[in-house]
Amino acid sequence: MIIMVLCIILFVTGLPGCRQAGQAGGTALVDLAVQHQPIVGFGACPAWSCPTMEDWMADVFYNVDSGIGMSLMRLRIAPDGISLEMEAAKKAVARGALVWAAPWSPPAEWKDNHDVNNGGHLLPEHRQDWADRLALFAADAAAQGVPMFGISPQNEPGYLPEPPLSWETCDYTPESLMEFVRDYLGPALAKRGLATKVIAPETDGWKTYDGFATALLSDTVAASYVGPIATHSYSGTPHLPEIVRRSGHQVWQTEYTDLNVNEDTGLESALKVATRIHDDLVQGNVSAWHHWQFIASEPYWYSGLMVGKELTPRGWIVGNWSRFVRPGFVRVEATASPQPGVLLSAFTDPPTGRLVLVLVNTMERDILQEVSVINGTMPDRFTVWVTSATLKLEQSGSIDVSRKGMFTVTLPARSVTTLVSVLPGASR
């Protein structure tokens, strides 16, 4: 009897402890008048795993109708100044994607540890050599039909993997990376007449991002060469440093995967990725988001977007954003977590007024979510696209919107749901 009374009290007061499955929680507000960052797109990297990318695979990743509609590709520049993934890049360019590239290490003989692995520093007498090699890579890529949107000076400049793990690395301080960009890489790109921007600092996570970003942006010459201020998302909490906000530079998240997959190619890992995408977009204000590899290589064999010839739920969940939140969209204000277990991000296409909402449900039960859209053109209807334990980014009905911009959506248990608006007068 006591337990029943307590449960009735909890239910009446609206606390989640005894909320019935399917009962709607707090209303999520989407304010079309409050705009945040523009969206450039979503991408991944073919390094070490799929250098050629067959046509069917390129369509899975880049086709906006039958695939997940990515719009970015990040290449690896080898120490000798070439990329083994150039053929894959050509497939991405043919499908409308922007391509950019990053090195993991200069040549061993240009470093003080004489090793492409295990950190070490670029020798001062070879800074110009390395900058010239990176600029030549960009020029050669353009000549092959793959214009480089950007070049990173270094992947994860302040990070060294813990033994026994080891891969190509090179160590920079915030100051030394800034000097390399300001005095060598930026001028080398400009000397060749390239529009290619520097994408930096590509730190391993948000935890070390601020120091590198501050060094780059505090120097006006270095900052003039820099395009997106980039980071990976393996550590720390996504955030927008004040100096980055004031600078007007876009923020890019350029690498993330669930490293603790333990052979998990299912929803557990996929929902971790979904939560990270949401947090990077909403808290980090990123304009571009990149998964690590399309197909994983060792030691994380199961952490890619595809295993064998099939997309994992991770891949389909990335598609809940990448297929519908297209380049040129803008993130708008929305209630980020309208009730426990639910995450919401919202985007609009200014020229058309099209609205896309992406909702994550991490709970083990279906949830009803009420949404209110204000301060803009109200859509007539949303089509519903779901990735879950049984659905692979599949259309799942539609929702009519009231004249007051109100509607309720059912979010299946452990799922990502994308709502794509149908505008007044448009074909349904």
Answer yes or no: is pLDDT of 12 > 70.
no
Both 308 and 290 in a single domain?
A: yes
Closest by CA position to 299, among listed 203, 162, 205 = 162
Domain count, the chain: 2
Per-residue pLDDT band for 46 (boundaries 50, 70, 90) equals very high
Per-residue pLDDT band for 403 (boundaries 50, 70, 90) equals confident
Both 155 and 297 in a single domain?
A: yes
Q: What is the length of the chain? A: 428
What value does the mean pLDDT take over residues 177-206? 97
Per-residue pLDDT band for 24 (boundaries 50, 70, 90) equals low
Q: Long-range contacts: 85-90, Cβ < 8 Å, 24+?
A: 85/46, 85/47, 85/50, 85/51, 85/53, 86/141, 86/144, 86/146, 87/51, 87/52, 87/53, 88/46, 88/50, 88/51, 88/52, 88/53, 88/58, 89/46, 89/141, 89/146, 90/144, 90/145, 90/146
Lowest mean pLDDT across 179-183, 291-295, 324-328, 423-427: 423-427
Query: At how many degrees (to 10) do helices 86-94 and 55-62 cross?
Result: 50
Both 140 and 225 in a single domain?
A: yes
Both 188 and 264 in a single domain?
A: yes
Domain termination residue (choose one: 278, 306, 327) = 327
What does the DSSP assignment read for 35-76? EEEE--EEEEE-TTT-SS--HHHHHHHH-TTTS----EEEEE
Residue-wise pLDDT for 210-234, tens only, equals 999 999 999 999 999 999 999 999 9
Query: At how many degrees (to 10) do helices 313-322 and 267-282 cross?
Result: 30
Both 299 and 335 in a single domain?
A: no
| Side chain identity, residue 38 | P
Is residue 174 assigned to a domain? yes
Both 209 and 358 in a single domain?
A: no
What value does the mean pLDDT take over residues 62-68? 96
Both 143 and 236 in a single domain?
A: yes
Both 120 and 269 in a single domain?
A: yes
Q: Which CATH number belongs to the domain containing residue 371 in this structure?
A: 2.60.40.1180
The span from the CA of 89 to the CA of 86, in Å, is: 5
Closest by CA position to 388, among listed 421, 410, 355, 420 = 410
Both 256 and 335 in a single domain?
A: no
Q: What is the pLDDT of residue 308?
A: 86
The span from the CA of 152 to the CA of 135, in Å, is: 11
Q: Record the tokens describing residue 35, joined without a space.
A: 């705009």
Per-residue pLDDT band for 299 (boundaries 50, 70, 90) equals confident
Closest by CA position to 149, among listed 93, 201, 187, 202 = 93
Q: What is the pLDDT of residue 245?
A: 97
Answer yes or no: is pLDDT of 281 > 50.
yes
Answer yes or no: is pLDDT of 426 > 80.
no
Is residue 65 assigned to a domain? yes
Closest by CA position to 277, among listed 96, 416, 156, 410 = 416
C-beta of residue 386 within 8 angstroms of C-beta of residue 40: no
Per-residue pLDDT band for 264 (boundaries 50, 70, 90) equals confident
Range of the domain at 377: 2-35+331-422
Answer yes or no: is pLDDT of 4 > 60.
no
Residue reference for tokens 């669930």 = 258
Is residue 345 assigned to a domain? yes
Q: What is the pLDDT of residue 314?
A: 95
Residue-wise pLDDT for 230-249, tens only, equals 999 999 999 999 999 999 99
Domain termination residue (choose one: 327, 354, 377) = 327
Is residue 428 assigned to a domain? no
Task: Give the number of other CB atoms < 10 A from CB of residue 51.
Answer: 16
Both 31 and 49 in a single domain?
A: no
Both 119 and 24 in a single domain?
A: no
Q: Record the tokens describing residue 272, joined without a space.
A: 């971790």
Using a cut of 0.85, tell me whether the model's pTM lies above it.
yes
C-beta of residue 101 within 8 angstroms of C-beta of residue 74: yes
Both 386 and 273 in a single domain?
A: no
Q: Which CATH number belongs to the domain containing residue 146 in this structure?
A: 3.20.20.80
The span from the CA of 98 to the CA of 415, in Å, is: 29
Residue 298 exposed, middle or buried by CB count within 10 Å (0-12, 13-18, 19+): exposed
What value does the mean pLDDT take over residues 18-34? 72
Q: What is the pLDDT of residue 25?
A: 65
